[in-house]
Amino acid sequence: GAVVSQHPSRVICKSGTSVKIECRSLDFQATTMFWYRQFPKQSLMLMATSNEGSKATYEQGVEKDKFLINHASLTLSTLTVTSAHPEDSSFYICSARGTGGADYGYTFGSGTRLTVV
Amino acid sequence: DAKTTQPPSMDCAEGRAANLPCNHSTISGNEYVYWYRQIHSQGPQYIIHGLKNNETNEMASLIITEDRKSSTLILPHATLRDTAVYYCIVGPSSNTGKLIFGQGTTLQVKP
């Protein structure tokens, strides 16, 4: 089945630094990937839609200059949290849907727990 | 905004069928019904999806009403490992459409 690999699974960084999270589709090509954020005891909130070879589309209220998204290939999208602050601490999850093959719906990564200290 | 309504929580006895309802009265003709579940601190796991017909796979069955305004996810023999938050999502058929999550149903399977 379709697999999305997300790395790292956990990261702790100091306030003011930047953190990069990678999302890879392992056995299928994904022209579109999605980035979500989840705070404790809340549902997933869509942050942005990542399009291969073009700029990401951000949801209302999400700062595009703070959450940099790059989708350089059909199998890799990255989310960089710039100048991270404690309020950015959250669970970040990526998702992808293939362009063809078996239709498993949207496949999600295992998530990245970001803690900013 | 999410287009679905689900009960916030449900209990189910281990070994019994778990029936999770979902209302999606504003669903459009080309929108699918997706079900995902999320176990604590993990990414959502795909369960099943459908358009009009009932669907069954190795994990669950999806029953969609004829008017498509509601659906039910059925876990035929719930186990303790099925304890999770279950999300019913109305989503597009295109590969670029996005999924918007609602609050989901927390299913607690009890021994």
Interface of B with A (CB under 8 A): 34, 36, 38, 41-46, 49, 87, 91, 95-96, 98-104
Question: CA of B26: how far to CAs of A24, A85, B38, B47, B68, in Å?
Answer: 34, 39, 25, 22, 9
Task: Give the DSSP per-residue string, A103-114.
Answer: ----EE---EEE
- Alpha carbon distance A13, A112 (integer Å): 13
Q: Flag whether pLDDT at A78 surpasses 90.
A: yes
Q: Do B101 and A97 touch (CB under 8 A)?
A: no
Tokens at B75, concatenated: 């876990």
Provide the percentage of residues in chain A whose pLDDT is more than 90: 74
The pLDDT, as a whole number, for residue B95 is 59
- Alpha carbon distance A40, B94 (integer Å): 30
Name every chain B residue with its beta carbon within 8 A of the beta carbon of A31. Answer: 95-96
The pLDDT, as a whole number, for residue A64 is 94
- How large is the average pLDDT for residues B50-61? 94
- How large is the average pLDDT for residues A88-105? 78
- How large is the average pLDDT for residues A62-87? 94
Provide the percentage of residues in chain A whose pLDDT is more than 70: 92
Name every chain A residue with its beta carbon within 8 A of the beta carbon of B41. Answer: 91, 111, 113
Name every chain B residue with its beta carbon within 8 A of the beta carbon of A56. Answer: none
The pLDDT, as a whole number, for residue A104 is 55
Q: Flag whether pLDDT at B1 surpasses 90.
A: no
Task: For residue B95, list its beta bridge partners.
Answer: none
Tokens at A27, concatenated: 């056995």
**Average pLDDT in chain A:** 91
- How large is the average pLDDT for residues B6-13? 97
State which amino acid sits at residue A34.
F
- Alpha carbon distance B82, B65 (integer Å): 24
DSSP, res B5? B
Q: Flag whether pLDDT at A27 surpasses 90.
A: no
pLDDT tens-digit series, residues A46-56: 999 998 888 89
- How large is the average pLDDT for residues B41-67? 94
